[in-house]
Structure 1
Amino acid sequence: DGSPHMFSPENVMDIQRSIGGDIIMAFDECPAFGTGYEYAEKSMHLTHRWLDRCFQRFHETPGRYGFTQHLFPIVQGGIFENLRRESCAYISSKNASGNAIGG
């Protein structure tokens, strides 16, 4: 109907649970190719803050439809190796059943 919608880490978790996703992706920001270091770093930290909110919501809501649903964090950091390593370390600390590698 063209009406605006607000997406948050919490309601994105609810939506993905409700449609029966086997693998639920964490909310993230994937900056465009060529983004500078400063923006890529800020974006990565934003993605990590959103991940914390996703994990909280995911773990406080029950699975749906009688099967296990899995939340996968997404590595970010643009084209910068040190940021991607930092992001890998952060999402690894969540001990998720799997991880995704973002662009």
Structure 2
Amino acid sequence: MRDERLGALAVGGCCAVVGAPRTGSRGSFDVPRLLPGRTIRGVTLGDSEPETFVSFLVDAYRRGALPLERIQGRYRFEEINQAAADAASGKTVKPVLVF
């Protein structure tokens, strides 16, 4: 992470580290940039609490408020390039490869 990005946070702001970096990945920053109450925080799965969040998602799907069929696309492994293209274009949010 470049230090100037931390400096762009408001006082009390939070920088969220998301994704799945490789094991052993490292970051460095200038510690004084955190002193005005800024934080760096790792986030997994949106930091949801699965016990209640999964129930919320199921309920939303049942009510028709979560159109999974429009969000998720299934592709045979041989269609991996199409899956990547559809994700890049926004046609599908979550391409799933089926083996």
Task: Give TM-score, length-normalised by structure 2.
Answer: 0.29
Q: Which has the larger radius of gyration?
A: 2
Instruction: Give the structure, 1 or 2, with the largest relative contact order (CA under 8 Å, sep 6 or more).
Output: 1
